[in-house]
A and B are shown apart, each in its own frame.
Chain A
Amino acid sequence: MSDPALKPLPGVAPKAVSPWRDLWWRFCEDRVALFAFGVVVLLVMMALFAPLISPQNPYDLSGLSLRDARRPPGFVGSGGYTHILGTDAQGRDLLSAILYGLRVSLQIGITAGAVALVIGTSIGIAAAYARGFVEAILMRIVDLQLSFPPILLALVLVALLGQGQAQLVTALVAAQYAYFARTAFGAASAERSKDYVEAAAATPLSARRIVFRHILPNAMPALIVVATVQIAYAIALEATLSFLGLGLPVTEPSLGMLISNGVKYMMSGRTWISVYPGIMLIILIVAINMVGDHLRDILNPRLDK
């Protein structure tokens, strides 16, 4: 009973509790984290249903009028409805632009996070399973890359690859996969050296079965924490690159692009064009990070009470 992870939860019978249910219960203990989780779910819903709930299709150029450009919040435009958050420099309804921007940002963040998760985990687990020479080479590369700041890597790659969604996602994945590889390697090599895996490896069980049935499930919790944080980071990174003028093309702006578009009007007092997309971006990133933060705390056995 010295391992605190084996200790039964207070008030919970120590019988068949699946680890995922257990995780969910412990997650719900913290109201703030639960609230943050609710916000994330809400934002994802808003992004999914953006075409249904936004007052205007911001990509439809024929629906835009320059007479409506840069109007403050509350302005009733030529479309006949109120622009709750005002309009941007192209005369787009800002609320619609933000909802669509949220869609683009989330899409890029989740795609980059998921691809990096798959690639990074594969590398980490392959290194931990193979050991020896393969491990030394793979992890040396990963460690080397971890020592470079991701923003610099992404900056250079975007400059080298050119603009576009696929190029941007590639740059983000290249900048982030190493975090997953490190985490997966750590968890997998701890598992790999346990007796039951050694025993399984001595039987005719296929390597694939050992990896997917025994090693991967044990690495999952740590990987989920990294994934939440990295998705938030990918969204922030994309916004930063867009802000520096190295991100996506202007036609389908992400949140970062919307902020960047509004900056030149900021100094003349038309602050809403940048500020509202910025607030949306921050709510999104902070909420995801709070969820990740709490997950990390409940998954850290050393902090178990």
Chain B
Amino acid sequence: MSGFIIQRLLQAIVVMAVMSVIVFAGIYSIGNPLEILIPPEATQDVRERTIARFGLDRPVVEQYFYYIRNLLQGDLGRSYIYNEPVLQLISGRLPATIELVLVSVLGALFIGVPLGMLAGYRPDALSSRIIMAVSILGFSVPTFWVGLILILTFAVELGWLPSGGRGDTAELLGTAWSFLTLNGWSHLALPAINLALFKLAIMIRLARAGTREVMLGDTVKFARAAGLSEWTIMSRHVLKLISIPIVTVFGLELGSTLAFAVVTETIFSWPGVGKLIIDSIKNLDRPVMMAYLMLTAGLFVTINLIVDLVYALLDPRLRKGGAA
């Protein structure tokens, strides 16, 4: 087992190193940050000093190693636009994104799985067809469009909910959270629904597909023969059998929802990391882009590593290694 862990850890480190080279090379091939850093009326002297201060006169390879050295010491550089350490900038915005993502994904899980099981239990019933139609809609309609319609309906036409911002927040563990206040919830509602719809569709599909297959199997046949009620069969046996893929996808989706939050945050002016990255792409704020991409890559590599290790724990055949 320890051999397997070391192998996968090494693999994760190699992936991160390769990612850092690709991302660094990519980001350094676009735009000219000097246009942002130096005002057009600056003297030649000021220009040269600014270029030297950011190390932009150095060869790219040297800049890369300089960046990596700082990165390993926990220094991700300073934003060109906000003139703040990037780490501080991102960690200041992170709670808003995490809050939004958790509310949406948990909502999608607890609503989607029962609906999907219902649709899988009686695949030809009208209710099941409606559930599946909703799930196809959730899958198909682009997130930004749903967001616009939500704003148009609930904020502009009905005036029930605010169209953007985080609203009132309350302190918990030294961070401000919206979900602790009623006003915060009213701001959270629309973006959370927006972000949850796609996940809801995935949960419904997974639960339906799993249920349909399990219902045809022997477990259900024997449980029925044993005289168990349909409710007991569904909640005890079917739910347990379909839960493994759902838990896996749930874990993976948690990560990808962080990425999807980019769109939702932009529409609802939710002050999270996603809005920050869009702004920094538009402003060519290299350090912020670089840091965001490295952190996201790190997050995904970590999630994959955990999934691999958990699988290995569950399935001894994988521990022998080698299996790609």
Residues on A lying within 8 angstroms of B by beta carbon are 135-136, 139-140, 143-144, 147-149, 151-152, 155-156, 159-160, 162, 232, 236, 239-240, 243-246, 256, 259, 263, 266-267, 271, 274, 278, 281-282, 285-286, 289-290, 293, 302-303
Q: Which listed residue (B15, B148, B213) contacts A274, Cβ 8 A?
A: B148
Contact status of A285 and B263, CB under 8 A, knowing A155-B281, A302-B213, A303-B212: no
Verify A160–B26 contact, CB threshold 8 A: yes
Assess A244 versus B278: contact at CB under 8 Å? Given A160-B26, A239-B144. Answer: yes
Q: For chain B residues 273-324, which have a beta carbon within 8 Å of chain A?
A: 278, 281-282, 289, 293, 296-297, 300, 303-304, 322, 324
Of the candidate stretches B82-90, B97-105, B134-142, B179-187, the one touching chain A is B134-142
1/0 contact trace for B174-212 toward A, CB 8 Å? 000000000000000000000000000000000000001
B residues 105-159 near A (Cβ < 8 Å) are: 136-137, 139-145, 148-149, 151-152, 156
- In the complex, the 10 A-B pairs of residues with the closest C-beta atoms, listed nearest first: A149-B259, A149-B256, A152-B259, A285-B140, A159-B281, A136-B324, A236-B142, A286-B140, A160-B26, A243-B144
Q: In the complex, are the beta carbons of A244 and B259 less than 8 A apart?
A: no
Assess the B148–A293 pair: CB atoms within 8 A. Answer: no
- CB B28 to nearest CB in A, in angstroms, measures 10
B30 beta carbon closer than 8 Å to chain A? yes
- Shortest B211–chain A CB gap in Å is 12
Contact present for A152 and B30 (CB under 8 Å): no
B244 within 8 A of A: no
- When the two chains form their complex, are residues B140 and A289 in contact, meaning their CB atoms are under 8 A apart? yes
Contact A286 B30 (CB under 8 A): no
Contact of B304 with A147 in the complex, beta carbons under 8 Å: yes
Cβ of B242 < 8 Å from any Cβ of A? no
- Name A159's contact: one of B30, B145, B149 (CB within 8 Å): B30
Contact with A along B16-40 (1 / 0, CB 8 A): 0000000000110110000000000
List the B side residues contacting A162 at CB < 8 Å.
Answer: 30
Query: Chain B residues with Cβ under 8 A from A302's Cβ?
Result: 213, 216
Q: Does B252 interact with chain A (Cβ within 8 Å)?
A: yes
The residues of A that contact B260 with a CB separation of less than 8 Å are 149, 151
Contacts of A239 in B (CB 8 A): 142, 144-145
CB < 8 Å neighbour of B142 from A240, A266, A290, A293: A240
Chain A nearest CB from B80 CB (Å) reads 15
Can you name 18 extra interface pairs (CB under 8 A) apart from A140-B11, A149-B256, A286-B140?
A: A144-B304, A147-B255, A148-B259, A149-B255, A149-B259, A152-B296, A160-B26, A240-B143, A243-B144, A244-B263, A256-B142, A259-B145, A266-B152, A281-B142, A285-B141, A289-B136, A293-B136, A302-B216
Closest to A161 in B: B30
CA distance A159 to B296 in the complex (A): 16
By the criterion CB–CB under 8 Å, are A282 and B140 in contact?
A: yes
**With A and B bound together, what is the CA distance between A293 and B260 in angstroms?**
23
The smallest C-beta distance from A128 to any residue of chain B, in angstroms, reads 12
Given A135-B324, A155-B262, decide whether A240 and B26 contact each other with a Cβ distance below 8 A.
Answer: no
Known: A139-B324, A160-B27, A245-B282. A151 touches B259 (CB 8 A): yes
Most A Cβ at <10 Å: residue of B29, B148, B300: B148
* Cβ–Cβ < 8 Å partners of B26 in chain A: 156, 160
Write out the residue numbers on chain A whose beta carbons fall within 8 Å of the beta carbon of B139: 289
Q: Is B79 an interface residue (CB 8 A)?
A: no
Q: Is B303 within 8 A of A240, CB to CB? A: no
Q: Closest Cβ of chain B: how far from A289's Cβ, in Å?
A: 5
In angstroms, Cα B101 to Cα A124, docked, is: 33
Q: Write the nearest CB–CB distance from A170 to chain B, whole angstroms.
A: 13
Chain A, residue nearest B280 (CB): A159
Please determine whether A290 and B136 come into contact, CB atoms closer than 8 angstroms. yes
Closest-CB distance, A86 to chain B (whole angstroms)? 16
Q: How far is A236 from B300 in the complex, measured between Cα atoms in Å?
A: 24
Q: Cβ of A243: which chain B residues have Cβ within 8 Å of it?
A: 142, 144, 263
Q: Closest A-chain residue to B281, C-beta based?
A: A159
Contact A156-B136, Cβ < 8 Å, known A147-B252, A302-B213:
no
Chain B residues lying within 8 Å of A289, measured Cβ to Cβ, are: 136, 139-140
20 residue pairs from A and B, CB less than 8 Å apart: A135-B324, A144-B304, A148-B259, A149-B256, A149-B260, A151-B259, A155-B281, A156-B289, A156-B293, A160-B27, A239-B142, A240-B144, A243-B142, A244-B266, A266-B151, A266-B156, A281-B142, A282-B140, A289-B139, A303-B213
> Could you say which residues of chain B place their CB within 8 Å of the CB of A286?
136-137, 140-141
**Bound state CA distance, A159 and B15, in angstroms?**
22
Known contacts A135-B324, A136-B324, A147-B300: A278-B145 contact under CB 8 Å: yes
- Contact A232–B140 (Cβ < 8 Å): yes
Cross-chain contact B266 with A281 (CB below 8 angstroms): no
- Chain B residues closer than 8 Å to A285, beta-carbon distance: 140-142
Whole-angstrom CA separation of A244 from B143 in the bound complex: 12
B156 x A267 contact (CB < 8 A): yes
Give the nearest-CB partner of B205 in chain A: A293
A118 → B minimal CB distance (Å): 23
Kindly provide the distance from the CB of B293 to the nearest chain A CB, expressed in whole angstroms: 6
CB nearest neighbor in A for B29: A160
Residues of A within 8 A of B303 (CB): 147
Nearest-CB residue, chain A, relative to B28? A160
